[in-house]
Chains A and B, each alone.
Chain A
Amino acid sequence: MTENIKPKINEQKIISTKNPVFNHLVHNQKSYLLLLLILVLTIPLLTNYSVGKPMIMGGESYYHLSQAENAKFAQFYYAPLSLALQLIPEGLLFLIPLLLAISSLFLFIKIMDKTTISNKLTFFFLLILFISPPFIFTFTTISAYSVYLFLVILGFFLLSKKNEQWHYIAIIPFISATFFDFYSSIFLIVILATHIHLVNKENNLKNYIILISTTIVALINVLLLKIPLVLGPFHFEQKIPDLISDLGGLSGINFFTIMLAFLGLFITWKRKGFYVFYLFLPVAILGYSYNTQTIFHLTILISFFAATGFIKIFQRDWNLVLLKKFTFYLLILGLLFSTLTYFERVPDIGPSQEDFEVLTWSNNNIEINGKVLSIPENSYFLEYFMKQKPFSEINVKGSKELSQKALNALYIDELFPILEGNNITTIYINQHMKDELPNEQGILFLLKNERFKIVHSQKNSEVWLFVPEES
């Protein structure tokens, strides 16, 4: 009888330390999480490489690269990236976010070792975070938030050191983290305030100094350096798809993760010691509703609650062990499913191989004296590869309508005044535009006019010149 019951008890312990496999995973989490991290971050890079695309993708990457190339004195915070651009060949730039991710992982685990947060929670939190599309996207692109996260973790790592001198040095990464956008600074200030609330209150002066100096610098950055509230946008916002990757957004959260987070919130509601984490929710939700670019902050929080929910659900004994196991594997499959779906879409994220080839060729071979007409989504690629000013920029209000007016013009009488009035001398058409714009009308049809000359093309990417009337 006892022999019959024993295996049942063990079968309940899917995520218990009594489960040898899980125990091994948690005890060696640093190695396994590192492996997972490298795997999830190299898959998009290798996918890009295999289809001939530049390994670094996304508009944000090329925005920062352009800024770093042309940084003025007031943009001194781009100095590290400018330096990196000079030291690292362009083909190896992908190493920057990869190294930031690995460093952040090691520092984070070191910090967690010194807290009362269980290894199990750390393991699942990082597991869920690493396979989330916003995390993967952030750390496979040159993004502000990858550096921001690294700096915040570095700051807390220094704060967690026993030697108090390190604590004051922590001010440097914290202050540096305020140079990206004001929203991230607010998030950091809330984290620092929470930290003060949680740590030993007798020894809090230095923490107050850190908090106050970070707040002051953040305010200076906003008021004097005109740091934006939220960096970007780098794509056109869609509130729901940008939140849920399974609905086709650029890099939303897995739907399974969101559901797990809801369960986590529901199950741990009013749990002692957890209420502090709920404070971050309104900040993250408000940030997201203002600008979907802040999905990264929300992802971190959602992943935390999802991990809490996951542990809470599977830590306790279920009435039906089979159902527990089935649900467990179902969840793991569901989480992976969304991530794999995201990987499938990586080749669709610009710039494409043709974008790169045609724009670089144009930069090297033709002299352009005017603006370039294309869709706003291409604006950062035009600036970086072609070194030209785009007619419509994604981060300029009304830009979409302006470019649509030109791209959807039905007659040359409509189009030519727009081109001439805005000093547009070049038109860049790519595959995405050919898929979306009608062939029989609009710009694709009007390009047949003799005043347009094609100067270079590869597959469906083309550069056209708009010839002035006098010539």
Chain B
Amino acid sequence: MNKSPKYWILAIFIITLTLRLILAFSVPNLTYESYYHVRQVESIKETGLPLYQDPLSYGGRDNTFHPTFQYVGAFFTIFLPIEIVAKLLPNILIAFLIPIVYLIGKKITNNPVSGILAGLVAGFLPILYSTNSFVPATMFLPLMFLTIYAFMNIKNSFYLYLYLLCFIVLSFTTPATALILIGYVLYMIFSMLEGKRINWAELELMIFSLFFFLWAQFLFYKNTLLNEGLGFITQNIPQQIIEIYFPQVSIAQSLVLVGIIPFVLGIFVVYQSLFQLKTPKSFLLISLAISTTILSWFKLMEYTLALSFFAVIISILFAISHQEITDYLQKTKFSRWKNKLTTVLIILTITTIIFPAIVHALNQDTPSNEEIEAFEWLNSNTIEKARIASSLKEGNLVTYYSQRKNIMDGRFNLIKDVNERFQNINAIYTTKFQTQALDIFDTYGTTHVVLTPKTKGHYQIEELDYVKGECFELIYDKETKIYKVKCEITKTKND
């Protein structure tokens, strides 16, 4: 292992990528949120610009976001169809975490074996096995850790420029980049507390990063900030579904998703670094782990993203723990067991994380082929002005496959009546009264309602209670049902 770390890393990279791609192509379709980004990629491919004035989402709305990930996706659609790019690109990007984590682990421990172990853990982290997610987080994670690696090597001018490049790209990829800035603040605090002199070169980069990040956010989100104020941070998410985005942390579930052994050893390293050894080499990583926890705790960062980031940090800390354990063994009469311990650690770690990783991938929340067929049917069988009512998460399927206006989807920024819309969407699927449903359909000019098996499961219903009578016509009757709305609350529609 000591002699050919590059080959080991390459092997882990290939194995991981292969596994990820097998899983990605065996699970049908993409996760619901992915279709929003796929649609943006298609818009960029066709017009060169993302859909900042989206004519379909919420029946037409302004929408602002950082477009780097979508542009990268659009670039690859020059060579490959979007269906392939959407499954290939995120998995390749996530797989790149392996060499990056290896480099960081090796840098901190000066031990290639520990670095390889960190890379191995990062390659099979269950939380990262959302193989069918075409979302900016898949670009954010490797880029973020590349930025951190560059930061650790800023004395070398190549890495200085690499840092600048990565940070600029990151700032235009997602506002979650704020994580690194909060990490810097904690890093400075820890360093000061431990009497470590802060390197001016590091401070320069932090100052630049802070102001560049702020500027990049103001540039894109000026109107959102002015309209929503601090609500910008919570993305204007309706109160009722805030728990979905920021669920109560289940420690058991989090442990499985991060990996039990890496987690336990990672926490051991954090404890040792902060309270016993006071080693500054891991301060930056610990600061980042704490900033992730803080943001997640205060519900300022999406739970899955926070946990993913935390898991990767834990995999790096795992390298430090391996290094410390082997160093300790070296000093005892068990030193000859060093290699055996590494082997045992690898076997134990892999067996405890690979199975949850595969299960996590197979259980991804994606629409079925039959559901997608129904949304495609809407595209060819309804007029262009049609407005489709669907569940919240299927809103992106309405805009992508049906290419029709929806009532609501998962992009809440700049929507004034977001809570009211969410209540109305719920009422559409749960009300027993036709007048209430028709009133809601009138409000949004809704022409069709889609009832998929997933929606039935979500609302625990078998059928819409109010669709009997003349006001609704069942026009698509498979597992998924589509109803045409034929009445208004004041007058009967003539068509």
Q: What residues of chain A lie closer than 8 Å to B210, measured between beta carbons?
A: 259
Whether A246 contacts B164 by the Cβ 8 Å rule is no
Residue pair A341, B222 in contact (C-beta under 8 Å): yes
Q: Complex formed: what's the CA distance from A391 to B232 in Å? A: 35
Q: Does A102 contact B (CB under 8 A)?
A: no
Tell me how far the C-beta of B30 lies from the nearest C-beta in chain A, rounded to whole angstroms. Answer: 35
Contact B227 A313 (CB under 8 A): no
Tell me which of B56-64, B143-151, B200-208, B254-262 binds A. B200-208
Q: Which of A247, A341, A345 contacts B229 (CB 8 A)?
A: A247
- Knowing A246-B226, A337-B218, A341-B226 are in contact, say whether A259-B204 is a contact too (CB < 8 A): no
> Is B211 interfacial (CB 8 A cutoff)?
yes
- Best-buried of B207, B228, B230, B232 by chain A (most CB within 10 Å): B207
B160 an interface residue at 8 Å Cβ cutoff? Answer: yes
> Which of A78-86, A272-280, A322-330, A404-412 lies at the binding interface?
A322-330
The answer to whether B214 has its CB under 8 Å from any CB of chain A is yes
A255 touches B (CB below 8 Å) = yes
- Size of interface on B: residues with Cβ below 8 Å to A: 23
Kindly state whether residue A318 has any CB partner on chain B within 8 Å: yes
> When each residue 237-265 of chain A gets 1 if its CB lies under 8 Å from chain B and 0 otherwise, what string results?
01011000011110000011001000100
Which residues of chain B from 120 to 162 have any CB-CB distance to chain A below 8 Å in the complex? Answer: 160
Find B225's partner among A246, A259, A323, A330 (CB 8 Å cutoff). A246
The answer to whether B226 touches A256, judged by C-beta atoms less than 8 angstroms apart, is no
Residue in contact with B208 in the complex, picked from A247, A255, A323, CB distance below 8 Å: A323
Q: Given the complex of chains A and B, what is the CA–CA distance between A241 and B233 in angstroms?
A: 13
Q: Name the distance in Å between A348's Cβ and chain B's nearest Cβ.
A: 10
Complex: chain A residue closest to B202, CB-CB:
A319
**Which residues 189-219 of B sit at the A interface, judged by CB distance below 8 A?**
200-201, 204-205, 207-208, 210-212, 214-215, 218-219
A320 near B230 with CB under 8 A, answer: no
Query: Within the assembled complex, what's the spacing in Å between the Cα atoms of A334 and B171?
Result: 15
Beyond A263-B207, A323-B164, A326-B208, is A247–B226 a contact (Cβ under 8 Å)? yes
Contact B229 A330 (CB under 8 A): no
The answer on a CB contact under 8 Å between B212 and A330 is yes
Q: How far is A256 from B207 in the complex, measured between Cα atoms in Å? A: 11
Distance to closest chain A CB from B191 (angstroms): 13
Which among A238, A247, A323 is the interface contact of B204 at CB below 8 angstroms? A323
Given A246-B225, A318-B204, A320-B160: A259 touches B211 (CB 8 Å cut-off): yes
A-side interface mostly = helix
Majority secondary structure, B binding face? helix
Q: Does A333 contact B (CB under 8 A)?
A: yes
Evaluate whether A248 and B226 lie within 8 angstroms (CB atoms) in the complex, with A320-B160, A337-B218 already known: yes
- State in angstroms the CA–CA spacing of A256 and B219 once bound together: 13
Judge whether B222 and A256 touch: CB under 8 Å: no
A-side contacts of B204, CB under 8 Å: 318-320, 323-324, 327
Tell me the complex Cα distance, A248–B201, Å: 35
A255 to B232, CA, bound (A): 15
Please, which residues of chain A bring their CB within 8 A of the CB of B212? Answer: 327, 330
Q: From residue B92, how far is it (CB to closest CB) to chain A in Å?
A: 31
A-B contact pairs, 7 of them (CB 8 A): A240-B230, A247-B226, A249-B229, A255-B214, A319-B160, A320-B160, A327-B208
- Across the A-B interface, the 9 shortest Cβ-Cβ residue pairs: A247-B229, A248-B226, A327-B208, A319-B201, A241-B229, A330-B211, A334-B215, A248-B229, A318-B204
Using A241-B230, A320-B160 as known contacts, list a sample of 7 further A-B pairs with CB atoms less than 8 Å apart, ordered by residue number in A: A247-B230, A255-B214, A256-B211, A319-B160, A327-B207, A337-B219, A341-B222
A residues lining the B interface (CB < 8 Å): 238, 240-241, 246-249, 255-256, 259, 263, 313, 316, 318-320, 323-324, 326-327, 330-331, 333-334, 337-338, 341, 345
